Amino acid sequence: MHLLMIVITLVVALILRCSQVHFPGSWEIRWRRSLFLFLFPPLLIFMTAIALLCMGPQGQMGGMYTGWLSYSLALMVLSVFSSLCLKLAYQGWRSLQSARNCPLVNFAGKPIRLLNTQALFAGQIGFWQPELVVSQGLLETLSPDHVESVLAHEQGHHHYKDTFWFFWLGWIRTCTAWLPNTEPLWQELLVLRELRADHYAVSQVDPLVLAESLLLVVSNGSAFAHSEICCAALGDGSGERLEQRIEALLTPVATTPEMKLPSWHTFFLAFVPLLTVIFHT
């Protein structure tokens, strides 16, 4: 019976992930659908593994005996997920410590970590309270107006706690890289994150100046490699993602779109496997 639960869970996860991943329409629609397809299958797998672990390797369910195989699979899945979480947390902590090794300076009334490199880089690095890291090259190359637009963009990432939330989304991405369309959905969420930060900045600076800053940073910052873990940088964008951002900046909307969470009623279905525990004897 437990093996049947595993098979059903995997089939549902695969069916959802094989559905359409590129959605037309408003940002809110794109955000809700992409986040649902990205989160629901892993959450269903996670809840099924927890349910099997709670039921244990002995007993009956639905008149059928259970065994060690399903229990061992659930334990292995949860162990791998936990190990990956610890690994990513350690990498994020190292990135934060590296950022804090940079000298803290006051620039335009804002505390920033000054990175000693001529590559153009600006990004939030950390977890709930990230550090704003800006390279020496960016401050020396960009005009004051361009620097102001960069800082406004990074303030948007700080306002929405993007480094914190995308750490957990990045963990899910790593755990379920084997599921279909994990990478396209991840890229969609990244571009929506950057579009939101761009539009937060547009409320304070000229969108054309921000678009120019983005192009300058992307074209001159490739020599500097930074980790995606706990990092939200202005230059996160290339190809189609960059085109979407530039187009959105050149045709700005009046207000920043709210990217709301999908209805929790739909996510409740992912917890259904936990209800099967009461039928285990």
**Residue 179, pLDDT score:** 93
Region 113-123 average pLDDT: 89
User: Which of 269-275's residues contact partners 24+ apart within 8 Å by CB, and which partners?
Assistant: 269/40, 269/44, 270/40, 270/43, 270/44, 270/47, 271/47, 272/47, 273/5, 273/9, 273/44, 273/47, 273/48, 273/50, 273/51, 274/47, 274/50, 274/51, 274/54
The region of weakest confidence among 27-31, 150-154, 261-265, 267-271 is 261-265
Instruction: Check whether 192 has a pLDDT greater than 70.
Output: yes
Q: What is the pLDDT of residue 221?
A: 59
pLDDT of residue 107: 86
In this prediction, residues 178-207 reach a mean pLDDT of 90
* CA 276 and chain centroid, separation: 31
- Rg, the chain, Cα only: 22
Q: Which of 184, 139, 134, 170 is nearest to 155 (CA)?
A: 134
Residue 120 tokens read as 């153009």
Q: Single out the residue of 83, 82, 81, 54 nearest to residue 66, CA to CA.
A: 54
Residue 172: the pLDDT is 94
Give the model's pLDDT for residue 74.
86
Given a cut of 70, whether residue 146 has pLDDT beyond it is: yes
The mean pLDDT value for 184-206 works out to 90
How does pLDDT run across 222-247, given as a tens digit for each residue? 545 556 677 887 766 666 778 888 88
Sequence-separated (6 or more) residues with CB below 8 Å from residue 75: 53
pLDDT band at 124 (very low <50, low <70, confident <90, very high): very high
Q: Which helix (H) or strand (E) holds 264?
A: helix 264-268
160, 211 Cβ separation under 8 angstroms: no
For 25-81, what is each residue's pLDDT tens digit?
677 778 888 899 999 999 999 999 888 888 776 655 555 556 677 778 888 999 999
Helix (H), strand (E), coil (C) string for 126-156? CCCCCEEEEEHHHHHHCCHHHHHHHHHHHHH
Residue bearing tokens 């259970």: 66
**Could you tell me if 255 and 26 are in contact, meaning their C-beta atoms sit under 8 angstroms apart?**
no
- Tell me which of 6-15, 42-51, 99-108, 234-243 is least confident: 234-243
Q: Give tens-digit pLDDT for 66-82.
A: 667 777 888 899 999 99
Give percent above pLDDT 70 in the chain.
82
Specify the pLDDT at position 223.
47
The lowest-confidence range among 66-80, 104-118, 187-201 is: 66-80
* 54-58, 83-87, 255-259: segment of lowest average pLDDT: 255-259
> Bridge partners of 134?
114, 122
pLDDT for res 117: 85
